Copies of this chain bind each other. A is one copy, B any other.
Amino acid sequence: MTRKVLIVGGVAGGASVAARVRRLDERAEIIMFEKGPHVSFSNCSLPYHLSGIIEDSEKLVLSSPETFKKRYNIEARVNQEVIKINRDAKTVTVKDYLTDQTYEESYDKLVLSPGAKPIRPNLTGVNRDHVFTVRNVVDIERLNAYIKYNGIKDIAVVGGGFIGVEVAENLRLAGYNVTLVEFANQVLAPFDADMAQILHKELIDQGVELVLNDGLAEISEQCIITNSGRKIEAQAVVLAIGVQPETDLAKDAGLEIGETNAIKVDSNYLTSDKHIYAVGDAIEVYHRLLQKPTRLPLAGPAQKQARAAADHMYGMPIRNNGVIGSSSIHVFELNAASTGLNAKTAEQAGIKYDYVYIMPQDKVGLMPDSHTLHFKLIYEYPTGRILGAQAIGKGNVDKRIDVVATMITMNGTLEDLKDLELTYSPMLGTAKDVVNHAALVGLNLLHGRYKEVKVSEVRELVESDAFIIDAREAHEFNAGHLKNAINIPLSEFRDRLDEIPKDRPVYIHCRSGQRSYNMVMALTHLGYDHVYNISGSYLGISLYEYYHDLISGRDKIVTNYNFN
């Protein structure tokens, strides 16, 4: 008997389900409904049309209904929307936007992959012609055409998530004056505030006007007005505040909706109706580290869910590991990637954790394109179980995060991570990789071999006149240092022990933490009981303080920043 499978949505999740069903069942009748004109386009690549990195927007469309038909015998009906599920009759009601007609189609199995839609806040001016969102190829073509043919100069992008930052970047690369407005105190929520500073600096350095801690209040013809009353010139506005799962169809059909307001599914991606599956951005998934439902609107998980749903439809046992949340982004000259929990999320979830922040070179220092790699590793206290990581730099940061993602999935600990035998050659890495290095530091902390304070605590130390040693050489110190730090280079401290007090805490930093670590260990063995390494060291302090100083206009605690 021929099985009839209907699929709602023809992009990441939907197209993957269709292709997988075909491979499992050559005789199935497969119909995929897409309300827009395109199936199987690369949503993640949309912003790159704005800069011309993808010049031809047609390239964004990876396949056509004709190809689906010819290669896979899959019927892709575009410009047709499933507007109702008739669960008892096992049919859907379809609206054809080209003929304006409505009809019914029956199913044996139905798969919902409707995605998520950009949030449009209910604000004055939000429906003006120069206000855009970015969800599909039509959207990006419209935006691109509008700003090109109307000679737009100033564009406001509202929302500092992945789409907002990528749209801002690509518009800036195309030469527009871009203001990026974000309600929170940082862009890109997967990163902790200390790491996000690096991205803020890059956005600013590349000419994006960055407005944090401020939200959109109103849109008028030539400008937007923020909550704080700031007027920002903008003849075009892109809303990238976030997305919300498309649940209307499911709700209307009485399917269960989860606590995160996305479609609820079981471990096999079945909804509360055993003939209806749901996958992709519209569903809620299980976070294996937080042990609770979450939403994770990303392409990778959508594809995995699609395959799993199709497999289950054909009686194959599937494994649902939940999600950990891995992602990456390219921001001008930087790459940034993260996986698992950040410190913020771990804190909110009440998980006991600690973290390491290091910044070694990403490849052998004497190689021409060796760069500083900022790396933060979060682990559970006291078990040392790896919980998450974030990496930012010009080089291969995603490599390190993928390794940590693998470790998290396999329940690895700091001990496992330190021992990892990774590939190395001078053009591609360092003999002791960043992840090995971070694990070693983490173990030192976990085992109590030395103590440290975080980069975010340094201002208080300076303001309370703590005893801070700068372990760099004099010429480095003179180029910029903490206002009340004392310069005792690692190469001199053994002869200058009488300058270091034993009766009060001593805080030590250098450029990146390596020299100060050695001095901390030595002083600890010499009987100094309260010696602390300053995590992140002068590079981290500079980055952290730079942006905070910039937005708050507060007094600098350094004589000069040093970012190199």
- Least distance between A330 CB and chain B CB atoms (Å): 4
Does A59 sit within 8 A of B, measured CB to CB?
yes
- Least distance between A267 CB and chain B CB atoms (Å): 13
A431 to B13, CA, bound (A): 11
Interface centre among A59, A67, A162, A406 (most CB of B within 10 A): A406
- Least distance between A83 CB and chain B CB atoms (Å): 29
Q: Which of chain B's residues have a CB closer than 8 A to the CB of A406?
A: 403, 406-407, 410, 412, 420, 422
Q: Do B299 and A491 touch across chains, with their CB atoms under 8 A apart?
A: no
A365 to B23, CA, bound (A): 23
Contact of A420 among B53, B365, B405, B526 (CB under 8 A): B405
**8 A Cβ contacts from A423-440 to B:** 423-429, 431-433, 436, 440
- Least distance between A29 CB and chain B CB atoms (Å): 14
Indicate with 1 or 0, residue by residue over A516-547, a CB within 8 angstroms of chain B CB atoms.
Answer: 01100110011000000000000000000000
Q: Do A42 and B364 touch across chains, with their CB atoms under 8 A apart?
A: yes
A329 to B407, CA, bound (A): 24
A23 to B48, CA, bound (A): 49
Asked, given contacts A42-B366, A72-B518, A366-B59, whether A421 binds B403 with beta carbons under 8 Å apart, the answer is: no
Asked, given contacts A26-B525, A366-B45, A521-B26, whether A423 binds B409 with beta carbons under 8 Å apart, the answer is: no
Q: Do B423 and A70 touch across chains, with their CB atoms under 8 A apart?
A: no
A436 to B303, CA, bound (A): 11
Q: Which residue of B lies closest to A440 (CB)?
A: B307
Q: Do A73 and B494 touch across chains, with their CB atoms under 8 A apart?
A: yes
Q: Do B325 and A421 touch across chains, with their CB atoms under 8 A apart?
A: yes
A366 to B71, CA, bound (A): 21
Asked, given contacts A59-B366, A328-B429, A415-B319, whether A423 binds B398 with beta carbons under 8 Å apart, the answer is: yes
Does A252 sit within 8 A of B, measured CB to CB?
no
Q: Which residue of B lies closest to A524 (CB)?
A: B26
Does A266 sit within 8 A of B, measured CB to CB?
no
Q: Which of chain B's residues have a CB closer than 8 A to the CB of A409?
A: 416, 419-421
Q: Which residue of B lies closest to A411 (CB)?
A: B410
Q: Which of chain B's residues have a CB closer than 8 A to the CB of A364?
A: 42, 44-45
Q: Do A335 and B428 touch across chains, with their CB atoms under 8 A apart?
A: yes
Q: Do B522 and A366 touch across chains, with their CB atoms under 8 A apart?
A: no
A329 to B24, CA, bound (A): 40
Q: Do B23 and A431 touch across chains, with their CB atoms under 8 A apart?
A: no
Closest 10 CB pairs of A and B: A410-B410, A399-B399, A328-B423, A299-B431, A330-B427, A70-B491, A26-B525, A406-B406, A23-B521, A26-B522
Task: Give the interface of A toward B (CB within 8 A).
Answer: 12, 19, 22-27, 42, 44-45, 48, 53-54, 59-60, 62, 67, 70-73, 162, 298-304, 307, 319, 321, 323-330, 335, 337-339, 364-368, 396, 398-399, 401-403, 405-407, 409-412, 415-416, 419-429, 431-433, 436, 440, 490-492, 494, 515, 517-518, 521-522, 525-526
Given contacts A300-B433, A326-B422, A407-B410, 13 further A-B contacts (CB under 8 A): A12-B431, A23-B521, A42-B366, A44-B425, A48-B427, A70-B492, A301-B421, A330-B428, A335-B428, A402-B422, A406-B410, A406-B420, A409-B416
